[in-house]
Structure 1
Amino acid sequence: MDIETLREYCLAKKNVEESFPFGETTLVFKVKGKMFLLTSLDSAVLEFNVKCDPEKAIEWREQYAAVQPGYHMNKKHWNTVTADGSIPNRIMREMIDDSYNLVVASLPKNMRE
């Protein structure tokens, strides 16, 4: 997965917007104003942070060396994923989907619809 594929995948989701709230090199994707993925644009290899169910976060870390506790994030709820080719794209899309769905589920009911 590369940055353009990641960007297109995130923006294809309902009510997603991108922004640069942490500076011009950190791209953030939000659903209804809540962050579900962020990535640095100045890394040699694509890395991104995704929100996770705490049990699933540990499971991903144990299964893939390229998944680590979230860099500069709450390590219980966020993972940093390095797209170094060791994780199938299907699995990375699943991580992104899980993050998006967790954030949507946390929104007030009137915002979820």
Structure 2
Amino acid sequence: MKQHELEEYLGKFSGSEGSYPFGPEALVYKVMGKMFALVAIHQGVPQVTYKCQPADGEVLVSQFEGIIPGYHMNKRHWITVSLSSDVNDAMLVDLADKSYQLVVSKLRKVDREALSQL
């Protein structure tokens, strides 16, 4: 999956907003002010960082060369995926969906209700 395709996909989630709070090299996607993805280029390689359950992250890191613990993030709750690796497009999309859903599930009830109205 190309970086711009992934960015388009991440922008389609309900309430998703992209911004550059860390500078022009890191595009952060948030829902209701909470980050669920970060797209950046590190050492010339496009990558995306997703939120995940700690157990899921451990399994993914052990099974895929292209997945490492979150780069510059909490290593238990975030994973970083190289877009030019052994991780296929379907997996990238599935991880994006799960990251978004995980963040939404942790939102306050009032924020989840507001999100459902969008």
The TM-score, its normalising length taken from structure 2, stands at 0.90
Amino acid at match of 1:106: K
- The equivalent of 1:65 in structure 2 is 65
- The equivalent of 1:90 in structure 2 is 90
- The equivalent of 1:6 in structure 2 is 6
The CA distance in 2 between the partners of 1:61 and 1:109, in whole Å, is 32
Shift of residue 45, structure 1, vs aligned partner: 2.3
The TM-score, its normalising length taken from structure 1, stands at 0.94
What is the aligned-residue RMSD (CA, Å)? 1.2
Q: Confirm or deny that 1:53 pairs with 2:49.
A: no
- Percent of aligned pairs with the same amino acid: 39
Task: Give ranges in structure 2 of 5+ residues lacking alignment.
Answer: 114-118
Shift of residue 43, structure 1, vs aligned partner: 5.0
Contact 1:27–1:41 (CA<8 Å) still a contact in 2?
Answer: no
Q: Confirm or deny that 1:108 pairs with 2:111.
A: no
Output aligned runs, 1:3-42, within 5 Å: 3-41=3-41
Amino acid at match of 2:16: V
- The equivalent of 2:99 in structure 1 is 99
Task: Give ranges in structure 1 of 5+ residues lacking alignment.
Answer: none
